[in-house]
Chains A and B, each alone.
Chain A
Amino acid sequence: MRFKYSTTDPSQDEFDSLPRLPLVLQFGSQSIEVVGLVDSAATVNVLPYDVGLRLEASWDDGKANIRLAGTLGNLNAMPLFVTAQVGQFAPVRLAFVWVKSNEVPLILGQTNFFMEFDVCFYRSQLEFEVKPKSR
Chain B
Amino acid sequence: MSLTELLPSIRQLPVLDKIRLIRILAEELDVEANIFPFEPYKIYYLATPYDMFGAGKALMDALRTTDTPAAAE
**Partner-binding segment picked from B3-11, B22-30, B65-73:** B22-30
In the complex, the number of residue pairs spanning A and B with C-beta atoms less than 8 Å apart equals 87
**Partner-binding segment picked from A10-18, A53-61, A125-133:** A10-18
Determine if B46 is an interface residue (Cβ-Cβ < 8 Å): yes
What residues of B have a CB within 8 angstroms of the CB of A46 in the complex?
A: 46
From A16, A71, A95, contact of B38 by CB (8 A) = A95
What residues of A have a CB within 8 angstroms of the CB of B23 in the complex?
A: 83, 91
Q: Size of chain A's interface in residues, with CB distance under 8 A?
A: 35
Q: A42 near B46 (CB under 8 angstroms)?
A: yes
Q: B48 near A15 (CB under 8 angstroms)?
A: no
Q: Smallest Cβ distance from B28 to chain A, in angstroms? A: 11
What residues of B have a CB within 8 angstroms of the CB of A93 in the complex?
A: 26-27, 30
Q: A79 near B48 (CB under 8 angstroms)?
A: no
Q: B56 near A15 (CB under 8 angstroms)?
A: yes
Q: Smallest Cβ distance from B58 to chain A, in angstroms? A: 8
Question: Which 8 residue pairs are nearest across A and B when measured between Cβ atoms?
Answer: A15-B56, A70-B46, A41-B47, A65-B40, A15-B57, A81-B30, A41-B48, A70-B45
